[in-house]
Amino acid sequence: MSLVRRRAWLAGSLAVTLPALAGSVRADAPSVEAALKLAPVQKEVEYDRPTAEEAAKCTIKAENVSGETGWIVRDASGQMLRRFADTNGDNVVDLWCYYQNGLEVYRDIDSQKNSSKADQYRWLNTAGCRWGLDADENGAIDSWKQISAEEATAEAVAALATGDAQRFARLLVSKEELASLGLGPERSKELAQRLNDAPKAFAEMAKAQKSLSAATKWLHFGGSRPGVVPAGTEGSTSDIAVYENVLAMIDTAGKDGQVQIGTLVRVGDNWRLIDAPSIPAAGEQLSSTGFFFQPSMPPRSEGGTESVAGAPSDEVQKLLDELQGMDDALAKAATPEEQDKLNLRRVELLEQLAAASTAPEDRAQWIRQLADTASAAVQAGGFSSGAERLRTLHEKLKADGGDGELAAYVEFRSLMAEYGAAVQQENVDFPAVQTKWLESLEKFVEANPKSADAAEAMLQLGIAQEYAGQEEEAKTWYQRIVTDFPSAPNAQKAAGAVRRLNSVGKPITLRANAVNMKGTVDLAAAPFKGKYVLVHYWATWAEPCRADLDDIQDLMAKYGKSGFQAVGVSLDGNQADLTAFLKQNKLSWPQVWEPGGLDSRLANELGVLTLPTMILIDQKGNVVHRNIHIAELEKELRARIK
């Protein structure tokens, strides 16, 4: 049955039963199974999807919520999963709501109240704040009524990865919106030309690029704070809020990358693009010239150091040229001493570029790059003085009292560098180093509770507490990430970790396509239902995981006919690595894989943090061990399987 037909059926059923809300619900109420088959019109929605066994314990009941009557689906604990409502009292469903972890995250809306077809789509709570409009009710968003700057960059990445020109076009400032900005004549004409050129530039970029694919995931928004171009600037009549030099951080099959978005302009409740996104080449220096924030500068005289039309001065260009060659030089460095010297020079170049920047956002970008590269170099063992330089930089930024978020950014990378340097020392006292590391993370969170890096610090604290056996403390940290940073990249991982720690005695969900045999792996369906199932999270690059495979193979041969089944969940960053391994090593149990590695959906659903992780499920589908060791597995199977 199509989505539209299922909705029409539910609307008809609702029309019969809603008038009787004051009394008992009649027998012709829709079934839980039918209600749960309804899905959001927009495909990219994360919401609770109970297993068949979980669905059997769900209930559906006609209820009145805030004056709106409708069918409510709840799970066994009473937590809301779906709400299908009649908002205007005509006994026809016009609102379809979907929930995750008890919060409504998405709704389809029939605002016209005329067809049981949605014409608006809204993301809510932890899912964001997008609000799309669909005038012709064909399931495709025609325009955005509301979209944040972060979500606009995510949409731009998705459009570029799939070559969807329409998806990109609806992010651009429209002609009507351009007129409403109140720009001066010259600026308005210049912006109109850029908007006119953007679709062609997007089409060319989408066709030429090879680094983005359907596996590409948007990770987070990169950019300094927004600014305001005041009314009166170059003849403008209104204040204009803008972001300049915006980046989107991405992951494609475990490989990090960036997409340069450029300038974003706020128009009402929307943030709009003015250019096509671009993908910087390896080693390419990102543009730091914005559309609005361009300082007025005199022409450069011959032999001078000032720039013309925003171009870098000769001195700055020399710094940029030298910086661009650093990666190649480091790759060729033969000794640790050479690496140390080159990393020091790279930091010096970045310090000079930051000092030469006249715009605060440019200075912040160079400082962030410095912090990232220096911290990574220290942790790789190639920059002996890096931790000290980062500590000094943080102290200077803190003393300046300016950009607190930038100071926190540098501080967190300084802490990681100090920890990395400490564990590399000879005869290191690991317990003492670990204790100091955790104390520094707690102090960082306390001092910077709203910093984007606080979420990562909390995750590290949760991991440490979990593996120290302090599981309640670990769950507290994980839950705090979900509550305080619901949009952070690791919020899903943290929510999954809480779910995993609470999983014993409960069913878990695992659905994915097998890569080494036909069909879909679904723990709630045959051939897994009614068996003892081992879910083995592993990767080809993790040697202990590979060692487990022989033991699992033996256990499958010994207990497979008696009701034991294994499922492999590969968390390789690249599917090609798994495919090559499976060609050389024939495994008799299904293997599943999805893009993202340790940050994939398969890993995040249960917050898998280390490999191998093995979960044993009993014949009723409930978890009996959420972290069983391979050495314990046969003893457990022997005791349970008759």
Sheet holding 59-65, edge to edge: 59-65, 68-74, 80-86, 95-100, 103-109, 120-123, 131-133, 143-146
**DSSP structure string for 414-454:** HHHHHHHHHHTSTT--HHHHHHHHHHHHHHHHHH-TTSHHH
**CATH code for the domain in which residue 594 is found:** 3.40.30.10
Residue 37 lies in a domain: yes
- For 278, phi then psi, to 5°, come to -140, 160
Residues 36-59 pLDDT 10s: 999 999 988 999 999 989 999 999
Distance CA 218, CA 128 (A): 14
The three-state secondary structure class of 70 is strand
Distance CA 373, CA 413 (A): 9
**Cβ–Cβ under 8 Å, residues 386 and 408:** no
Distance CA 369, CA 320 (A): 13
The answer to whether residues 141 and 155 belong to one domain is no
Supply the pLDDT for residue 290.
74
Give 433's strand partners: none
Distance CA 575, CA 119 (A): 38
Among 287, 304, 332, the domain boundary falls at 287
Distance CA 172, CA 226 (A): 18
Supply the pLDDT for residue 114.
76
**Cβ–Cβ under 8 Å, residues 267 and 195:** no
Residue 295 structure tokens: 């300082």
Residue 397 lies in a domain: no
Supply the pLDDT for residue 3.
43
Supply the pLDDT for residue 287.
52
Give 147's strand partners: 270
Confidence tier at 400 by pLDDT (50, 70, 90): confident
Residue 346 lies in a domain: no
Q: What is the CA radius of gyration of the chain?
A: 28
Which of 186-195, 309-318, 333-342 comes out lowest in average pLDDT? Answer: 309-318
Q: Is the pLDDT of residue 300 over 80?
A: no
Residue 641 structure tokens: 């399987």
Q: Is the pLDDT of residue 554 over 70?
A: yes
Planar angle of CA 236, 242, 244, nearest 5 degrees: 120
Among 78, 112, 146, the domain boundary falls at 146
Supply the pLDDT for residue 382.
87
Residue 265 lies in a domain: yes
* Mean pLDDT in residue range 48-71: 88
**DSSP structure string for 357-394:** --SHHHHHHHHHHHHHHHHHHHHTT--TTHHHHHHHHH
The answer to whether residues 24 and 140 belong to one domain is yes
Residues 103-148 pLDDT 10s: 899 999 998 887 668 999 999 988 889 999 998 888 999 999 999 9
The answer to whether residues 194 and 120 belong to one domain is no
Confidence tier at 289 by pLDDT (50, 70, 90): low
The answer to whether residues 88 and 156 belong to one domain is no
Confidence tier at 16 by pLDDT (50, 70, 90): very low
**DSSP structure string for 8-25:** HHHHHHHHHHGGGTTSPP
Give 270's strand partners: 147, 267
pLDDT, the chain, mean:
86
The three-state secondary structure class of 103 is strand
Q: Is the pLDDT of residue 296 over 50?
A: no
Residue 636 lies in a domain: yes
Confidence tier at 305 by pLDDT (50, 70, 90): very low
The answer to whether residues 7 and 136 belong to one domain is yes
Planar angle of CA 462, 224, 243, nearest 5 degrees: 130
Residues 306-319 pLDDT 10s: 444 455 678 888 88
Supply the pLDDT for residue 28.
60
The more confident residue out of 563 and 226 is: 563
Q: Can you give the pTM of this predicted structure?
A: 0.56
Which of 9-18, 295-304, 628-637 comes out lowest in average pLDDT? Answer: 9-18
Q: Is the pLDDT of residue 476 over 90?
A: yes
Distance CA 147, CA 144 (A): 6
The answer to whether residues 20 and 86 belong to one domain is yes
Sign, CA dihedral 461-462-466-472, equals: positive
The answer to whether residues 104 and 123 belong to one domain is yes
Residue 557 structure tokens: 């041969």
Strand 103-109 relative to strand 68-74, pairing: unpaired
Confidence tier at 489 by pLDDT (50, 70, 90): confident
The answer to whether residues 134 and 183 belong to one domain is no
Give 251's strand partners: 217, 256
Distance CA 58, CA 79 (A): 9
The three-state secondary structure class of 227 is strand
- Provide the domain count of the chain: 3
Residue 390 lies in a domain: no
Residue 567 lies in a domain: yes
Q: Which residue has the tokens 């029409």?
A: 8
Q: Is the pLDDT of residue 413 over 90?
A: yes
The more confident residue out of 86 and 303 is: 86
Among 287, 312, 327, the domain boundary falls at 287
* Mean pLDDT in residue range 158-175: 92
Supply the pLDDT for residue 1.
38
The answer to whether residues 72 and 195 belong to one domain is no
Q: Is the pLDDT of residue 244 over 70?
A: yes
* Mean pLDDT in residue range 173-195: 90
Distance CA 130, CA 124 (A): 8
The answer to whether residues 141 and 228 belong to one domain is no
Residue 58 is which amino acid? C
Residue 207 is which amino acid? K
User: Domain of 543?
Assistant: 511-640
The answer to whether residues 120 and 156 belong to one domain is no
Residue 441 structure tokens: 């993370």
- How far, in Å, are 158, 442, 499, 596 from residue 254 at the CA level? 17, 29, 24, 5
Residue 22 lies in a domain: yes
Supply the pLDDT for residue 21.
30
Planar angle of CA 409, 374, 341, nearest 5 degrees: 160
The answer to whether residues 541 and 604 belong to one domain is yes
Q: What count of other Cβ atoms lies within 10 Å of the Cβ of residue 555?
A: 18
Distance CA 553, CA 566 (A): 9
Distance CA 63, CA 84 (A): 10
Residues 555-605 pLDDT 10s: 999 999 999 999 999 999 888 889 999 999 999 999 999 988 888 899 999
Confidence tier at 445 by pLDDT (50, 70, 90): very high
